[in-house]
Amino acid sequence: MEEALNALFPQRPADLYGELANYFSKFSKAPVICKLVGRKVLDGVGQPTLEVEIYCTVKNYEKRICSTVMSSHSQIPENALPETTEADETERNDSVNTAVEWVNESLNTMLRDLKPTDQCKVDKMLGEYFTKKVEEKKEIQKQEEEVKEEAEATLALTSCTPSATALPGKKKAAKSGRKVAVAERMIPPAEPVESVLCGSLAIGGTSLAIAKAGATISRIPLYLHIALLKHDQDSPKEMALPLPMITLLNCEKNSPAKLKLVKEVMLIPPVQLSLKQGIERVLDIQKEMMRLLEPPGRAPSPQLADRKKGRAHNTGKKALPRALKRESHLGCLITGCDNLEQPLLLMQTACNNIGLELGIDMYLAMNCAAHELMDYVKGKYEILTGTFKSPDEMVDMYVELINKFPFIIALIDPLRKEDRQQWNNICCALGSKCYLVAEDAATYISKLKIDQNINIPTCSGVVLKYINQTMVSDLIQVTGLLDSQRHITILGSPDGESSDDSIVDLAVGLGARFIKLGGLSRGERVTKYNRLLAIEEELAKNRTLREANLEFIAFAEESHPEKQLSDMLPPPKQDSLPPQLSQPAQEVRGLPAQLPENSTLT
């Protein structure tokens, strides 16, 4: 006490007892986990999901440190049957209930008295627990299969006669089966969908909550905590923000319109703009796009009515259904198109109308989601209603598209992950001028890690999502492998997004090149853009903000999937993107952006 008073005497603090408390707190024990609380909550689309709260013992008192809400993810396509959607919702509800039970019982006991700053130890224990649950499920399935086989054997013994009557039917079945077999030989069969263990949300939710608690206890932002974990506690001198892929159009695949190929059309601001300037520019384009999509003679949408008080009048009941359906759950505008060029020309028109030029002032990315379009009977993709293309024809189509619209600098899921030869071909043809990104192939991070390699087709990079049993340590390990193999990392938010903004800190801390958060509407999506803006301001204030860059990968013609990628291209110069890049291996120059003279952006 005498030592403390002597140390504080020269300072003469206004709050002596508070300063004494701070002095003695340096000698207190490090906080440890005392309780985990799991509860069932709703995500941004009204689906059930998991929230995990972390409580720690801090100076002999139980204190709530933080919480995290997991985003729900579904592999059900947009045009799924109602029965399939209903079954998926039931399965998701059961999974959340099981996850809540795991957190409140097993994980609560298992992680008690551990330090929240010891992420590796916690994740190792969570991984072992998950493996144990997987083995238990396999054992149960094995027992069920044995019982089923015994029942079938018993049934076979009781019915031995219908061999003669079965012959005609067998011939017909074999004939139709041959037709399907011939068609399916044209393409590699689809890989089986990896089953999701019921309750797996508990693993990912707890791991992320522990990371947030560790950052809170260490009194540093989550993104810096993640960066320290990735670089073995070596603090980076500079950090770059991921470039946002901001969804502007959602082309519905089950709409009356013909186009099925494009799921999302996204805007990527130039690297020379700050994030704030880039978002302002996207908002200007969005306003113009809403004006272009407004039906003639119809009432303005509710979004426009809020901003144009006094001018919004409901001119008829017919306008209401369209207005209500103008906005997707992805936080963007919904439209339907009849051909592949229509949404691109629409974007070009919107930009030209406000004095912007695509390819200089803004760039485009397209999420093709081609894995949802394969007709396995024909062995072709249905890109338009009634129009089919083989995997090789798809490659030719993309090459022609990028040559015609060079402002498209990223294609997400242009092919199924099974069409590996075509991935190799498209990367050789377009890799030096456009990012070819795999999203569906990277849905489950556990399948990416195989013998210190990345189990994906030849591509520029992958979209990673923090879902189900994914742990923070998994993301750190996978992004490290992606960095070493010159793949770009994109952190993407699932369709069923929550208001938790941790994905932004993960993207910044992991050094992701892009972040894919959806559109600039809906609270659960805008809150993440607000977090990204706050991080930009903080890094700029600390003078640790590094400008992002756009560097493409030139793939060698003889490169093999998952093995060899050529060196990155040199840093971008200040030249503008040439209007036409006809040679597949041509060097890509810088992608600058200069504000037009009449621009009001700051």
Among 303, 307, 309, smallest CA distance to 324 is for: 303
Burial of 147 (0-12, 13-18, 19+ CB in 10 A): exposed
Among 415, 509, 443, 5, smallest CA distance to 214 is for: 509
Q: State the amino acid at position 228 in one-letter form.
A: L
What is the DSSP annotation of 99-141?
Answer: HHHHIIIIIHHHTTT--TT-HHHHHHHHHHHHHHHHHHHHHHH
Which tokens in the block code for residue 220?
Answer: 């540093």
Active-site option among 468, 542, 549, 598: 468
CA separation for the pair 429, 555 (Å, rounded): 8
What is the DSSP annotation of 315-339?
Answer: --TTHHHHHHTSB-TTSSEEE--SS
Q: CB–CB of 303/553 below 8 Å? A: no
CA separation for the pair 264, 353 (Å, rounded): 22
Q: State the amino acid at position 171 in one-letter form.
A: K
Query: 238 CB contacts (<8 Å, ≥6 apart)?
Result: 544, 545, 546
Helices (H), ranges, 457-590: 472-484, 502-510, 523-541
Which residues pair with residue 450 across a beta bridge?
453
Helices (H), ranges, 354-437: 391-404, 420-430
Per the annotation, the verdict on 468 as an active-site residue is yes
Among 261, 436, 418, 222, smallest CA distance to 339 is for: 261
Helix/strand/coil for 240: strand
Helix/strand/coil for 588: coil
Q: What is the dihedral of CA 222, 228, 234, 237, to 10 degrees?
A: -40
Q: Which residues are catalytic?
A: 468
